[in-house]
Amino acid sequence: MKKILSVLLAISLMLSVVSLASAENEKTVNIGVTSTIATLNPMAMDATEIVKYATSLVFQSLVEADRELNFVPVLAESITTEDNLHFTIRLKDDAVWSDGTPITAEDVEFTLVVAADPQCANISLAMYSIVGVSDDGVIEENAPSIEGIKVVDEKTLTVETKYPTALSTFENNFGRYALILPKHVLKDVPRADLLTYEWFNHPTVISGPYFINDFDLQHYVHYVANENYFLGAPKIKYLNINVLASTQILAGLQSGEIDLVQQTMGTIPVDDYDAVRALTNVKAVPGSLITNQLIFVNVARVPDVRIRQALLYGMDRKAMQEQLLGESGDVVDGFLVPVSPYFSEELGVVEYDPEKAAQLIAEAKADGASTELTWYVNSSENVWGDAVQYFAAMFEEIGLKINIRTVDIANLMTVVDEGSHDILSVEYTLMPADPYTDIAWLIGGQSAWTGYTSPETDEALALSQSLTDEEEIKQQYLVINQMMQKDAPVISGWVIGKMGAVSNRLVNANADVFGTFINVQDWDIQ
């Protein structure tokens, strides 16, 4: 009997060790998000941060922004320029694909060439700025190369731009948002097929820390670790992005079903901030006032500047911010937030003036302008949605009828692409160290967001890229934001310091607007 008990005890201990080893290899982390994911195809990537981060876990960028707003290496060892026209990209020597093939300059060239091919053009990249690319951002179909891109050696290439481009802008646009593709896998795929290529749903060769395991873009993406990741195999084997209603986030954090909420992917309702702070199993991470609730007015559909000005004067933004956000928000005008080095106190804020708004509406109506507008709102932004309901009621009292359409982020981006909105609002996080990339994207004459352009903003944007003195650059952004006050194609509803959260069991991880996933391979479970 003693022998039998000894054997059983030994077996029990062995099974315990096996169980612990199995658990060690089956670590899982769940990320809570509150927007659906439009695509996992890097070529179809839109401007939303949730798509960028969900996709770049698989296909990585050249550089990424860290929480201090510095651009730090990912696939690239460095990006340099001496004249803001010629840029040298040097890749890391040890950067390899998951199949062991080196990540080369030809991969970067291939990615940029494909991004400019009209059969699969990626409109989120400023390809139009590169020598050899049309002002519409495209090249000839199936062109093998671009004049302004030269491969120097296996790990080095150069890119020449048509006009001065600040290094920070080049790094933010091409460095952060060009997710590099494996040429040796995709070179023979017809470019017309790349936007819908099934392979991207379960890619077999990747550069990032995680493979896609399973997905339902309306509800989740499940990842499994890339054991051959060149920066080291991730300690967490399974990583899940779970799409939830914002009202479910608190319960998920409390129960431990959610381990992390990142500020630009998931929204914790402001009403739940105190409850999240009180949780003993979670660290609440207050965000800087960096996310701007921007309102875009389509000038093609709202051509009368008086109606656009009435929108600016007719919203009591400060009262709404104080009532709904308190210390978690503030009101500014234009694109920039106080943490940006180019933010200017000189701009000031247009004060609420319903009488002036009513006068502008009456004058515009007398001249034949439409006083009925459709406003699209992101369904995951509940607090802002409440504010828009209030604003619409106030506008109706002074002669402007607002029809509100609430849609999810994927459908909101479809509305943008079609330019079918009168007004559209969405939380938008401009990179504070490089406002140019987003501003040029949002108010260029070809922009579906606003369709707005002016000689003043065009000149100021160009000067922001050629000047080197920070104060002089700051003045150019002041000019741009003053034009936003004057012509009102873009209105800032408020800026918010969104809360993130990290489970106490998750180590080496921090939720922040920038830099959250830079070290995802080092995350671990305590």
**Separation between Cα atoms, residue 273 and residue 391, nearest integer Å:** 24
**Separation between Cα atoms, residue 386 and residue 26, nearest integer Å:** 42
68-84 burial, b at 16+ Cβ within 10 Å, e below that, comes to ebebebbbbbebebeeb
Look at residue 465 in the predicted model and tell me its pLDDT: 94
Question: In this structure, which amino acid lies at residue 400?
Answer: L
Average pLDDT for 300-322: 97
Q: pLDDT for 49-96, tens place per residue?
A: 899 999 999 999 999 999 888 999 999 999 999 999 999 999 999 999
Backbone angles phi, psi at 333, to 5 degrees: -110, 155
Residue whose structure tokens are 């180019």: 342
Is it the case that residue 13 has pLDDT exceeding 80? no
Is it the case that residue 389 has pLDDT exceeding 70? yes
The torsion defined by the Cα of 458, 462, 465 and 468, in degrees rounded to 10, comes to: -110
Is it the case that residue 10 has pLDDT exceeding 60? no
> To which CATH superfamily is domain 59-194 assigned?
Dipeptide-binding Protein; Domain 1 (3.90.76.10)
The answer to whether 29-34+208-284+499-525 and 291-496 have equal CATH topology is no
136-166 burial, b at 16+ Cβ within 10 Å, e below that, comes to ebbbeeebeebebbbbeeebbbebbbeebbb
Residue whose structure tokens are 């939830």: 244
Assign 25 a pLDDT band (cuts: 50, 70, 90): low
Positive/negative CA dihedral, 56, 57, 61, 65? positive
What fold, for 29-34+208-284+499-525? D-Maltodextrin-Binding Protein; domain 2 (3.40.190)
**Separation between Cα atoms, residue 138 and residue 158, nearest integer Å:** 19
Residue 265, both tokens: 């992917």
Say if CB 236 and CB 28 are below 8 A apart.
yes
Assign 444 a pLDDT band (cuts: 50, 70, 90): confident
Query: Is 244 strand, coil or helix?
Result: coil
Residue (of 273, 327, 268) closest to 494 by Cα position: 327
Q: pLDDT for 161-183, tens place per residue?
A: 999 999 999 999 999 999 999 99
Residue (of 346, 383, 351, 335) closest to 492 by Cα position: 335
How much of the chain exceeds pLDDT 90, in percent? 81
Q: pLDDT for 259-299, tens place per residue?
A: 999 999 999 998 899 999 999 999 999 878 889 999 999 99
Query: Is 81 strand, coil or helix?
Result: strand
Look at residue 49 in the predicted model and tell me its pLDDT: 87
The number of C-alpha atoms within 13 Å of 491 and in the hemisphere containing its C-beta is 26
Domain boundaries, the chain: 29-34+208-284+499-525, 59-194, 291-496
How much of the chain exceeds pLDDT 70, in percent? 95
Question: In this structure, which amino acid lies at residue 411?
Answer: N
Average pLDDT for 465-494: 95
Average pLDDT for 487-508: 96
Look at residue 23 in the predicted model and tell me its pLDDT: 46
Residue 353, both tokens: 């003036």
Assign 526 a pLDDT band (cuts: 50, 70, 90): confident
Is it the case that residue 185 has pLDDT exceeding 90? yes
Is it the case that residue 439 has pLDDT exceeding 80? yes
Say if CB 392 and CB 320 are below 8 A apart.
no
Q: What single-letter DSSP state applies at residue 39?
A: -
Assign 112 a pLDDT band (cuts: 50, 70, 90): very high
The per-residue DSSP string of 282-348 comes to EEEEPPPS-EEEEEEE-TTTS--HHHHHHHHHT--HHHHHHHHTGGGEE---SS--TTSTT--GGG-
User: Could you tell me which residues are beta bridge partners of residue 76?
Assistant: 91
**Separation between Cα atoms, residue 119 and residue 138, nearest integer Å:** 9
Average of per-residue pLDDT values in the chain: 92
Average pLDDT for 295-315: 97
What fold, for 291-496? Dipeptide-binding Protein; domain 3 (3.10.105)
Residue 512, both tokens: 């922040």
